[in-house]
Amino acid sequence: MGGLSNSYGTVISRHNALTGHGPLPRKIAESFAGGAYDVVKLDQDLTLYRVWHPGAADEFGGYWSTDKPSGRISAIMDSALLPEWGNQATRMTTIRVPEGEVINIGQVGYQNGFWVGGSSQVLIRGGAKPTWKIDELTFTND
């Protein structure tokens, strides 16, 4: 992660498959590419995006991205959303995480080979707060 994490705030700690899963449970840490993520305390507000589908994924869940998706299909591939999870990425919520919050940031790891991931992945422990919401849209096509 290096410079990317540094641009958002103070890096508290760095973790990867070699150093261990750090403060996150192993299964969650492994959702990051190579198990690599940084724990960062934000020194500025940070805009994040989440794709979701009613009944399958919560609007204010824990996983977000700094990368704004261009449509449903790209969001599903870049975020490695497996079909069995039911998240058809029909909606996108934008939030602004306030300065001082602590996040876990890395890249989305691949799932089952085909679902490549690769976009940024931000985990907010306990999920985002609804008061951080600044926008929502419904994807009408790809």
pTM: 0.85
**How far from each other are the two terminal CA atoms of the chain, in whole angstroms?**
29
Would you state the torsion angle of the CA atoms of residues 84, 57, 70, 83, taken in this order, to the nearest 10 degrees? 0
Residues 6+ apart with CB under 8 A from 71: 139, 141, 142
pLDDT in tens, 20-73: 888 999 888 888 888 899 999 999 999 999 888 777 777 898 889 998 988 777
